């Protein structure tokens, strides 16, 4: 398993790392079952402080990380909006981040600036306080912890059905602009025999670089605009919303008819009884809320899994993962 | 005593519940007297996480609840302004709240949307994570924890003077639009022999539904526009500010002469020596700051009582109230 | 040593107080070396709550104090921007602060209002809850904890070189409008034999009142516009940025050529090997980032020292400083 100092990209994760996070997360969820277990988790890192530096707004990911800190006893500070901080005006972003590193032991950052995490990790590694960085989403390119929780949810969902290997994952919606899709597809190549069906409107098909990567990896995949036909073959339906915030012209997305790629109650009868429905959330109209009550709907658990996998990741990064794996419950 | 899963409305509180909160709060204040006592309180719920979802701004109530969480060791997350969260744009409020329920064990919410708390409590009760909801103020209709702290303060103030039963409470100011007045008046009917004098300008008299309720309950009350005459008869003066944020036309409130319903130093000599002066705060000019030094002024203690009654409420809701009542100090 | 109830001004600090903070801070930094030590610090004040009332934006100072709270186990609440709090509109600032005092045990406040801290400290001292106040910066006049960390950093830097006494401190840049300069210069008069060189453009020379104070104190100082000549004589270079936020006419500062008062790599060869370079941060172009790698650059440590000296200050104010000084490590 790769020794990891920062979490910058999903491309850092190899199969042993994913499997270890899977086991750690399962163990951590056992601790969640009692006050004693939860207090044990809180005893692991109460002497540590984390900065949640979220200059790209994200309530969901922010709360997930903050709760993960709470679970481990980590104290946290936050920057949510640099525009409110006059003191930081005129200061370089490098100086600001170096300031945070003076006060805390871990920096979790989400920024619209591509490559910023790598640059800061590199800067701090050369300083007297080389604190670890976790990329909590950087512009359109990387969101490694989302990929991690998706893989965990898939592994967990299929643990009694032969595991994730060999399963068919159907990814649906805006496959062109969703960073989630890119990271998850790449990580699925680490699970032999797994197959992806990409179901999207012509305008939102996957990008060439991902297609090339999958072809080079000799990974089996299919692209289709017939979502209905894909449903009955799938073990997991991974829904995504149209990422219209990346439209380059006004109304670009609304010109595309995406309605054939919405999942609604009428599809449920075609879906395998052991299949799972996932969504990175937030959803719009591509996933009908009436589906929430179907036992195959796993997106709320997937969201909560995000919190637990982030706990697992932080214990790994801060060197207390052995303290999770070792004790008998 | 009613078993309570959520705190949605002051109408949920019956007399045994109020008496129990009174005893709990008194006990909790004993714990506040030493570091050991405070650490015992913090040991009750340190494994729990609460969301403070305050989309209607309220610094005072927010800080009171947050401090109550701190006292019990509860970790907290907050949403103060949904407009800053782009991720939540386009997401239904039900999905947002369900997301919070994925991460926390308790949701404390204040919202301008009438009935939202009930709707969310109902939604979560049908989900896999039925976390309790506390209504920390919902638009113009309900603010149950304010009513709770008011009752506590009255009970506490009169504990050496025969209790709240039989006392005369004079409510003053904008009685038409203050939700505090409505809830408090209803709860006072649970204390036999208590009497209310409503002193207000004609334009700000209590609403018909409250008047009918009190009549049906055979509760003794009086409406007057002669505040000065009411003072000497009263055991408690409950001041309120003009709620001009609910004006339906610009300057509506300022057309009413409310100055006869202001309390100032000249009134103090007419007030019983055992009487108390209360105010839900914030105040404007209806309550002269020179009164702060009068020993009968209880509004700052009333504010602090708010924190302690909220601690008591949370221990009840989260099932650790027995751990407050049992130990000998 | 003066017994101190509030920290309002650097003029409160006498030499015994500074020496005590120096020793306390050194001891606290020893505790930082292990989880056990840090947990001991967190055991000192976990039953206390602090309000960080920062209505003048300041990310750096805010985070420094918040981290100091975390280190001592103090729970914290915050007000960052009163404009977002509708509840506080129309409420006097005295009432708002008195409200905070109802909920917490310590108020740390930064405000643009000159003299506000003194006024509030005085108000609370006459109330039932006389909680201590720390001035974390008040408009252009006082920033006592910055002065404290600067003195600590100087003392620490020269501990193996005969101490701060007798050293030459060169203060550079906008000496007219920097409150840091004023406080630090005054405190340096407590260290016999110390000497200051003030290097600034003519337009940014120190104010008359500081000059008079130093003359009356018979403290040795020199004013110059030849920064280059001062460098080789100095034991510490204290850089400051141009405080153009205090310009009274638009572009006032930019009309002054300050470039001769910038420190860059070419100066390093003229600087004593034992000298130190300091800066209160944030910096602009007066301090070249290439200098960061020079071992004499102490500004990042100075920033971290700010956190530790604030821990020391809070233990003093809240009466647990003996618990730092006594235990053997």
Which residues are CB-contacts of C44 (< 8 A; sequence separation ≥ 6)?
C72, C73, C315, C320, C323, C324
DSSP notation for A230-244: HHTT-SEEEE----G
pLDDT in the model for residue C86: 53
Query: What is the rounded distance in angstroms from the CA atom of residue B121 to the CA atom of residue B100?
Result: 13
Tokens of C199: 């290097």
Long-range contacts at C242-245 (CB < 8 A, ≥ 24 apart) = C242/C173, C242/C174, C242/C204, C242/C284, C242/C286, C243/C174, C243/C177, C243/C178, C245/A86
pLDDT in the model for residue A228: 93
Nearest to B87 among A39, A59, A307 (CB): A59
Q: Is the pLDDT of residue A302 over 90?
A: yes
pLDDT in the model for residue B45: 98
Q: B59: which chain C residues are within 8 Å (Cβ-Cβ)? A: 79, 85, 87-88, 96, 99
Q: Which residues pair with A50 in a beta bridge?
A: A76, A106
Rounded to 5°, angle at Cα A271 from A268 and A275:
115
What are the percentages of helix, strand and coil residues in chain C, rounded to 5? 45, 15, 40
SS3 A64: helix
Tokens of B261: 């319903």
- pLDDT tens per residue across span B23-77: 999 999 999 999 999 999 999 999 999 999 999 888 999 999 999 999 999 999 9
Q: What sign does the dihedral B178-B181-B186-B187 (CA atoms) show?
A: positive
Query: What is the rounded distance in angstroms from the CA atom of residue C175 to the CA atom of residue C37?
Result: 40
CA distance A30 to chain C (A): 25
CATH number of A144-303: 3.40.50.1370
User: Which segment of B212-216, C80-84, C129-133 scores lowest on mean pLDDT?
Assistant: C80-84
Task: Kindly state the average pLDDT of the residues A164-190.
Answer: 94
- With cut-offs at 50, 70 and 90, classify the pLDDT of residue C285: very high
**Do the chains contact at A57 and B94, CB–CB below 8 Å?**
no
Q: Name the average pLDDT for chain A.
A: 94
Task: Kindly state the average pLDDT of the residues C150-166.
Answer: 97
Tokens 């601790």 sit on residue:
A31
Task: Kindly state the average pLDDT of the residues A259-275.
Answer: 96
Q: Is the pLDDT of residue A85 over 70?
A: no
Which CATH number is correct for B10-142+306-325, 3.40.50.720, 3.40.50.1370, 3.40.50.300, 3.30.750.24?
3.40.50.1370
Q: Is the pLDDT of residue A163 over 80?
A: yes
Query: What is the rounded distance in angstroms from the CA atom of residue A250 to the CA atom of residue A8?
Result: 32
Whether A153 contacts A298, CB under 8 Å: yes
Task: Kindly state the average pLDDT of the residues A254-263.
Answer: 94
Please give the C-alpha separations between residue A21 and each of A11, A63, A147, A290, A302, in angstroms, as whole numbers. 15, 20, 12, 32, 15
- pLDDT tens per residue across span C17-49: 999 999 999 999 999 999 999 999 999 999 999
Q: Is the pLDDT of residue B86 over 60?
A: no
- pLDDT tens per residue across span B263-309: 999 999 999 999 999 999 999 999 999 999 999 999 999 999 999 99
Q: Is the pLDDT of residue B246 over 70?
A: yes
Q: Is the pLDDT of residue B1 over 90?
A: no
Q: Which of B53, B70, B77 to mutate to test the interface with A (most CBs of A within 10 A)?
A: B77
- pLDDT tens per residue across span A107-162: 999 998 889 999 999 999 999 999 999 999 987 778 999 999 999 999 999 999 99
CA distance B79 to chain C (A): 13
Q: Which of B43, B89, B95, B129 to mutate to test the interface with A (most CBs of A within 10 A)?
A: B95
Pure H helices in B110-194? 116-125, 144-157, 179-188
- With cut-offs at 50, 70 and 90, classify the pLDDT of residue A44: very high
Task: Kindly state the average pLDDT of the residues A15-39.
Answer: 97
- pLDDT tens per residue across span C173-216: 999 988 889 999 999 999 999 999 999 999 999 999 999 999 99
pLDDT in the model for residue C89: 66
Whether B39 contacts B29, CB under 8 Å: no
Tokens of A304: 């909560």
Q: Which of C74, C102, C127 to mutate to test the interface with B (most CBs of B within 10 A)?
A: C102
* All structural domains of chain C with their residue ranges: 10-143+304-325, 144-303
Task: Kindly state the average pLDDT of the residues C305-320.
Answer: 98
pLDDT in the model for residue A141: 78
Nearest Cα residue to A281 out of A264, A317, A306: A306
Rounded to 5°, angle at Cα B136 from B133 and B142:
105
SS3 C119: helix
**Which ipTM score applies to this complex?**
0.95
Query: What is the rounded distance in angstroms from the CA atom of residue B59 to the CA atom of residue B128?
Result: 32
Going along chain B, which residue ranges are E strands?
49-54, 75-79, 106-111, 133-138, 168-172, 195-199, 220-224, 236-239, 276-278
pLDDT in the model for residue A178: 81
Q: How many CB atoms lie within 10 A of CB A201?
A: 20
User: Do C10-143+304-325 and C144-303 share a fold?
Assistant: yes
Q: Is the pLDDT of residue A3 over 90?
A: no
Nearest Cα residue to C237 out of C204, C209, C215, C270: C270
Helix or strand (DSSP H, E) at A214: helix A208-216
Q: Percentage of residues in chain A with pLDDT exceeding 70?
A: 96
With CA atoms as reference, the chain C residue closest to B70 would be C75
Whether C128 contacts B300, CB under 8 Å: yes
Q: What sign does the dihedral A283-A287-A293-A295 (CA atoms) show?
A: negative
pLDDT in the model for residue C138: 87
pLDDT in the model for residue C215: 97
Look at chain A and count its residues: 329
Task: Kindly state the average pLDDT of the residues B171-186.
Answer: 92
- With cut-offs at 50, 70 and 90, classify the pLDDT of residue B198: very high
Task: Kindly state the average pLDDT of the residues A21-32.
Answer: 97
Q: A304: which chain B residues are within 8 Å (Cβ-Cβ)? A: 102-103, 129
- With cut-offs at 50, 70 and 90, classify the pLDDT of residue C88: low
pLDDT in the model for residue B140: 74
Tokens of A10: 């999903």
Highest mean pLDDT among B88-102, C244-258, C301-315: C301-315
**Do the chains contact at C289 and A84, CB–CB below 8 Å?**
no
pLDDT in the model for residue B139: 76
- With cut-offs at 50, 70 and 90, classify the pLDDT of residue C263: very high
Report how far Cα A83 is from the mean position of its chain's Cα atoms.
27
Contacting subunits of B (3+ beta carbon pairs below 8 A): A, C
Q: Percentage of residues in chain C with pLDDT exceeding 90?
A: 85
Q: Cis peptide before C209, with omega less than 30 degrees from 0?
A: no
CATH number of C10-143+304-325: 3.40.50.1370
β-strands B276-278, C49-54 pairing: unpaired
Q: Is the pLDDT of residue B143 over 80?
A: yes
Query: What is the rounded distance in angstroms from the CA atom of residue A85 to the CA atom of residue A80?
Result: 10
Is pLDDT larger for residue B106 or for residue C56? Answer: B106
Q: A51: which chain C residues are within 8 Å (Cβ-Cβ)? A: 63
Nearest Cα residue to A230 out of A193, A200, A191, A194: A200
The b/e string for A125-147 (b: 16+ C-beta within 10 A; e otherwise) is eeeeeebbbbbbbbbeebbbbbb
Pure H helices in B126-243? 144-157, 179-188, 208-216, 227-231
Q: Is the pLDDT of residue B154 over 70?
A: yes
- pLDDT tens per residue across span C103-136: 999 999 999 888 999 999 999 999 999 999 999 9
Q: Name the average pLDDT for chain C.
A: 94
Q: How many CB atoms lie within 10 A of CB C107?
A: 25
Nearest to C102 among B58, B283, B304 (CB): B304
CA distance B87 to chain A (A): 5
């Amino acid at each position: 398993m790769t020794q990891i100092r920062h979490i910058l990209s999903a491309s850092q994760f190899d199969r042993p790392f994913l499997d270890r996070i899977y086991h750690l997360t399962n163990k951590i969820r056992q601790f969640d079952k009692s006050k004693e277990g939860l207090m044990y988790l809180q005893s692991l890192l109460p002497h540590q402080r984390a900065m949640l530096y979220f200059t790209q707004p994200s309530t969901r990911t922010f709360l997930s990380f903050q709760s993960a800190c709470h679970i481990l006893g980590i104290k946290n500070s936050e920057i949510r909006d640099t525009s409110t901080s006059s003191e930081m005006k005129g200061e370089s972003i490098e100086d600001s981040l170096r300031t945070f590193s003076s006060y805390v032991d871990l920096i979790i950052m989400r920024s619209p600036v591509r490559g910023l995490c790598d640059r800061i990790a590199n800067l701090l590694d050369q300083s007297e306080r080389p604190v670890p960085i976790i990329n909590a989403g950087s512009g359109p390119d990387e969101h490694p912890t989302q990929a991690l929780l998706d893989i965990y949810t898939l592994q967990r969902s299929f643990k009694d059905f032969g595991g994730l290997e060999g399963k068919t994952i159907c990814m649906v919606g805006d496959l062109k602009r969703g960073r989630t899709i890119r990271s998850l597809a790449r990580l699925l190549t680490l699970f032999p025999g797994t197959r992806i069906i990409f179901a999207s409107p012509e305008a939102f098909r996957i990008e060439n670089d991902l297609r090339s990567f999958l072809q080079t990896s000799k990974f089996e995949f299919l692209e289709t605009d017939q979502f209905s036909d894909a449903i009955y073959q799938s073990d997991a339906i991974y829904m995504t919303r149209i990422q219209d915030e990346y439209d380059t012209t006004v109304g670009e997305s609304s010109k595309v008819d995406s309605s054939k790629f919405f999942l609604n109650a009428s599809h449920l009868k075609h879906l395998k009884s052991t299949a799972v429905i996932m969504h990175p959330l937030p959803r719009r109209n591509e996933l009908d809320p009436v589906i929430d009550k179907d036992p195959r709907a796993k997106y709320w658990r997937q969201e909560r899994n995000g919190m637990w996998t982030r706990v697992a990741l932080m214990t790994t990064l801060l060197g207390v993962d052995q303290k999770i794996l070792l004790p008998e419950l």
